[in-house]
Structure 1
Amino acid sequence: MSHALLKVGMLGGTFDPVHLGHLRSAVEVREALGLDWLHMIPAPKPPLRDAPQVSPDQRFELLKMGIADTPGIIADGRELRREGPSYSVDTLAELRSEYGSEVPLTMIIGFDAFLRLTKWHKVDEIFTLAHLVVIARPGYQTPWPPALKELVGNREVDSTSALMQRPYGSMLSLTLPSMMAISATYVRERLKAGESVRYLLPEAVERSILQQGLYQTYE
């Protein structure tokens, strides 16, 4: 398949640890957008939140276990190999250079992250590299801050087909069918308390966390 025909997405996060909510969302986003490849990219130390308790390499290994052989989804460790803070705009620029200028490239973020978008590094450049897809939270209505309205401007489209007509520059709000209400914070709290995390994580991820004692003692 030539690069000119591909549709590519980027889904970043701390994945601390990766859980079934992350993975189900990835599958549903890929289907909804018709993506050939969705890169799940763990951040080493996210600029806008505290450092995670487990090493970046350990989180990446758990992500690879969680994804396993899921079609079209890639565990992408590029931000772990980069010096300094991990900025989405740098990752998008790398993906754009790899896939070429014509391929529709989409960055997928949650609504909470979207509300903080104006604080992101070189945010104005994001729309010159990729589309933005915001995963809506049903029943969660928060008005956009004025600066965010200004940033998005008239970029919003109302369908995947409209989004994919160009390689970059548009924004789409998307509500996923499952919206599994699992949080990594909740998973970490249960692990720390010695409580079961069965059916919150893929079995391989759960097994590895318990074998290594990850998240079960905090410094």
Structure 2
Amino acid sequence: MGKIGIYGSSFDPVTNVHLWTASTVAHRCKLDKVIFLPCSSKRRDKQLHIDDSHRWKMLELAIENNPKFTADEYEMKEEAWNIYTYNTLRHFKAVFPNDDVYFIMGADLLVDIGKGKWAKGEELIAENKFIVMARDGIDMLKAISHSPILRNNDDGSTFHLLDKGLAMEISSTYIREELAMGGEPRYLLPDACYRYIKENKLYK
């Protein structure tokens, strides 16, 4: 039985922090594979800034030299009405029936689920396992204990909390803003992705 982490994000663009986070989580949690899952541009709660084909190509470039990393277009290809994290994890558990599948997320998302902001949030927590990364200013244990959804579905193995050294905050938004204003974020993202952005004049 293996251990697989599902790492969802917009990756708009993918950054070195995304890669460092995935590598650190894989190391600490003994994951055999991390699946990078770019979100769908069809989601009403996401405003993406470039075409899906560019996000996908940069993700491929970013992870091509790490055998533990792979990318999956599942959510990109799904119809908008069916894009829920609950459905996504059900899909990957069917693909990997003999493995433990974990959803990798930040503590800010844990708080939102606990407040009932996610569709099928209670079923999501009840039926899945999560690796939760620290975010500045969020006490993850309090977030769990203060939420009936979280605390009543925690059997002791539901949440793997990573609260040491995983709160780096360099974001895709920062990189996009720098590129739009003529800044130089070169060393915040993989070299191949930086070259791809320049060659295709993205985020201007």
| 1:69 corresponds to 2:65 | yes
Residue 153 of structure 1, CA deviation: 1.4
Deviations 1:100-145 (A, max 9, x none): 1x52111011111221112112122223542012101255448538
Residue 56 of structure 1, CA deviation: 1.9
Moved more, 21-30 or 44-53: 44-53
The one-letter code matched in structure 2 to 1:115 is V
Relative distance call for 1:35 and 1:140 in structure 2 (3 A) is same
Q: Equivalent residue of 2:143, what SS? A: coil
Residue 177 of structure 1, CA deviation: 3.4
Question: 8 Å contact 2:7–2:34 — kept in the other structure?
Answer: yes
Residue 6 of structure 1, CA deviation: 1.0
Matches within 5 A, 1:43-82: 43-45=39-41, 47=43, 49-82=45-78
Question: 8 Å contact 1:9–1:108 — kept in the other structure?
Answer: yes
1:72 & 1:145 partners in 2: Cα distance? Answer: 30
1:149 & 1:193 partners in 2: Cα distance? Answer: 41
Aligned equivalent of 1:144: 143
Q: Equivalent residue of 1:15, what SS? A: coil
2:170 & 2:107 partners in 1: Cα distance? Answer: 15
The one-letter code matched in structure 2 to 1:94 is H
Q: Equivalent residue of 1:50, what SS? A: coil
The percentage of aligned residue pairs carrying the same residue is: 29
Matches within 5 A, 1:40-189: 40-45=36-41, 47=43, 49-85=45-81, 86-100=83-97, 102-117=98-113, 118-138=116-136, 140-141=138-139, 144=143, 149-154=147-152, 155=154, 157=156, 163=157, 170-175=158-163, 177=165, 179-189=167-177
Q: 1:212 aligns with which of 171, 194, 200?
A: 200
Residue 33 of structure 1, CA deviation: 1.0
- TM-score when scaled to structure 1? 0.82
**Pairwise CA RMSD of aligned residues?**
2.2
- TM-score when scaled to structure 2? 0.88
Q: Equivalent residue of 2:188, what SS? A: coil
Aligned equivalent of 2:28: 32
Q: Equivalent residue of 2:61, what SS? A: helix
Question: 8 Å contact 2:42–2:80 — kept in the other structure?
Answer: no
